[in-house]
Amino acid sequence: MKLPVIGQNAAQAALFLLLLLAVPYTLPNEYYLSICILGALNAVIAVGLNLLMGYAGQVSLGHAAFYGLGAYATAIATARFGLPIPAGMAIGVSLATVVAWVVAAPTLKLKGHYLAMATLGFGIIVSIVFNEAVDLTGGPSGYVGIPRLALFGYEFASDHSYYNLMAVVLTFVVLLSLNLMKSRTGRALRALHVSEKAAASLGVDIAAHKRFVFVLSAALAGLAGVLYAHYLSFIAPASFGFGFSVQLVVMVVLGGMASVWGSVAGALFLTALPEALREFEDIDILVYGAILVLTIMFLPDGLAGGLSRLSRRLRRLRRQGDAS
């Protein structure tokens, strides 16, 4: 199908947004809505991380740090210094961006396991700062009293309104990511993933592209961080530790490397899964692990790869049905 005027990506995104906006009317109570909001926040980070990991092939085991930097920066700016919320949010996203830009230069010279180790170390350092800089961050017990998000005089007081906002934000992030990956930048990132020397030999500035995508994915994590802080109005270092960084990587891998939609699916799935497993009580973590292992075993290219294979098979079946 060709949609020259608005484009295929925009059409898919519009459909996605409609779908998201319909979800609250199918939920039995408010509690599920808060899970959906967290799922959308995680999806924003996972899509950004996939640009870095799935497309450009650069692993980060420290992305929770950028999420935390965004959250703490806006929390401190608004709750302690009384800055307006939009200013706090701008500071939060900017801090994540600037820190990523500074960290990128030495870190992205490393490859594979070494890059993973360096980003892991970075994440741990930031996590220690959140815990130890008690005067600034409130320490391990967390930071309270962050104002609920209000923009242009409208306060997103109800969970439903916050969810709608997240639906719009996530849709934009997805659309812009799809567009970016279908451009010279996307091709260059996928190219350097496979062969840096071949990409360089064709005129791709490897260092600049790696830095760009690292900073972009950190900025998206920072954006999710500020939206998280102004949603919960309470943040604690435990949410931004190594464990969450690993979870983000799992979302990307489980959803499907180099698939924007896959990351959305991976994030929503992994956010909802623990809730769905509540009834298993003591063994829920076991079931959770088993589901992860089975998914990776049977869908090695993730949920996205599995779905596209399924739809191909269905189409083939239908064609055979038509032929006979």
Between 142 and 181, how does the x/- string for binding to other proteins read (CB under 8 A)?
A: ----------------------------------x--xx-
Which residue from 202, 238, 283, 314 is in contact with other proteins, where contact means CB under 8 A?
A: 202
What residues does 150 pair with on adjacent strands? 155
Provide the 3-class DSSP secondary structure of residue 154: strand
Q: Cβ of residue 305: shortest distance to other proteins, in angstroms?
A: 12
Residue number with CB closer to other proteins (136 or 198): 198
Q: Cβ of residue 149: shortest distance to other proteins, in angstroms?
A: 24
Residue number with CB closer to other proteins (65 or 104): 104
Q: Closest by alpha carbon to 216, among 58, 109, 89?
A: 58
Single out the segment in contact with other proteins by CB under 8 A; choices: 81-89, 205-213, 223-231, 243-251. Answer: 205-213
Single out the segment in contact with other proteins by CB under 8 A; choices: 18-26, 40-48, 185-193, 314-322. Answer: 185-193
Which residue from 97, 131, 185, 263 is in contact with other proteins, where contact means CB under 8 A?
A: 185
Asked if 200 touches other proteins (CB under 8 A), the answer is: yes
Alpha helices, H only, the chain = 8-22, 30-50, 63-75, 85-107, 112-132, 134-137, 159-181, 184-194, 196-201, 206-232, 242-255, 260-276, 284-298, 302-323
User: Which DSSP state fits 258?
Assistant: T
Residue number with CB closer to other proteins (153 or 203): 203
Assigned token pair, 32? 């599920």
Assigned token pair, 264? 């959305």
Which residue from 129, 164, 190, 308 is in contact with other proteins, where contact means CB under 8 A?
A: 190
Q: Are 263 and 44 in contact (CB under 8 A)?
A: no
Asked if 183 touches other proteins (CB under 8 A), the answer is: yes
Report d(CA 189, CA 310) in Å as an integer.
28
Q: Are 40 and 165 in contact (CB under 8 A)?
A: no
120 class by beta-carbon count within 10 Å (0-12 exposed, 13-18 middle, 19+ buried):
middle
Number of residues in contact with other proteins under rule CB under 8 A: 29
Asked if 258 touches other proteins (CB under 8 A), the answer is: yes
Asked if 2 touches other proteins (CB under 8 A), the answer is: no
| Chain residues in the site for other proteins (CB under 8 A) | 7, 9-10, 176, 179-180, 182-185, 187-188, 190-191, 193-195, 197-206, 212, 258
